[in-house]
Amino acid sequence: MGMLRRFGTTGLLMIALTACGGGGSAGATPTGGKAASPAQSGPAETGPAESGSSETGSSETGSSETGSTETGPKSAGSTQSAVQRVLSRMSVEEKVGQLFMPVLYGTAADTVSGENQARYAAQTPAKVIGKYHLGGVILFPHNVKSVGQVVGLTNGMQRASKDVPLLIGTDQENGLVSRMSALMTDFPGASEIGATKDTGLSRAVAEATGAELRALGVNIDFAPVADVNVNPRNPVIGRRAFGNDPQRVAKMVEAAVKGFDDAKVAATVKHFPGHGDTSVDSHTGLPVIKHTKAQWERIDAPPFRAAIEAGVDAVMSAHLVFPKLDPSGDPATLSKPILTGLLREKLGFQGVVSTDALNMAGVRKKYNDGEVAVRAVLAGADLLLMPNDLPKAYRAVLGAVESGRISKQRLDQSVTRLLTLKQNRGLLTEAPVASAAEAADVLRSPEHRRLAARAGG
């Protein structure tokens, strides 16, 4: 494939290792939803350095407002009517674009980058957003230089999304996985907070983290980790988890979800149905979890149940095989029995299901990049994070809709959930505008540094 010829196997491995928290503190991954969500019924996973790019963008500061719309909960009727109005005017191509959240290259929306051209046949982040009608973008350390620059980038990308504002996400778990660590308060990771047994601390740190992200123009965090780390040899979760006790982890996760909600930032618990008992890294292999259904209920399920009851916006799938939950051999990301049967029907989750990064080896063992995206949607995923080959994945999903393999009703269900999340977070019809001056006051504020010190950071 084109990417393989351009980057070689080493380049692809580097991309995969940054997809969901691998590669240390600078690496990359990736709800109960609100009660107002109409989504359940619906209508009838660090790229290479940018040495070849020229940084032509400027650092915009935007307006003095950090958010231009109210982000409080909406009534069921008002949310549904607003979402349906937006949905009704979207083309099939625009609906398919809403499902995708790739990583883009550049430090401004108009940065000309060889990486964007090679991957997406469009030179700048703004042009990629327009070409594929993207629903979201995920930020990585290569997008981060300064507070003013990130504010300019997020504002510029929002302007490039002409019809529906973007979900702009990142992996800011704190601790080992902290994509925005160059700018944000250095809070301790989940294991340190979990060890305190202080749920109030978990909520406070999540709220502070969310406030700093929101000030930068980031509106969804791929955190907190809801895995219960019961395997000491786990190479990918470890200290990213709140601990090895299911009930304690559940309480910490619930508190963190509420903290992000306090900050008006969407939270994403991960990695469903549970990545805590594995000795294989899904960035480079396909883990197999051998828990029985009873063990899953006792060990893995409690944090996800708690998060759903707390109204979490999104749940991220895991690229691992769980034979007792689905004997097909497909990873959970591609498993309808797990994403639809277990997560939606058994646990009652009505919000957005996000895949883990789709450039990871764990999800690409059996199927090509287009088929992976199609099967993820058929399994129940709504948000397709970091496809390995965006043009191929986009064409495959669009073709599957046009052929009827993915029904238009199924597509509308996912788009409805994504639009509902945006509506619940004040992002449906008017994009928030971040302010560099206000962000400078919020990031690493004395209050947040004192909180970090109290938490052990």
Let me know if 356 is a catalytic residue. yes
Catalytic residue among 171, 356, 369, 382: 356
- Selecting among 283, 291, 319, 448, the annotated active-site residue is 283
CB 220 within 8 A of CB 169: yes
Is 160 within 8 Å of 125 (Cβ atoms)? yes
| Largest distance between two CA atoms of the chain | 57
Query: Is 291 considered catalytic here?
Result: no
Which residues are known catalytic residues?
283, 356
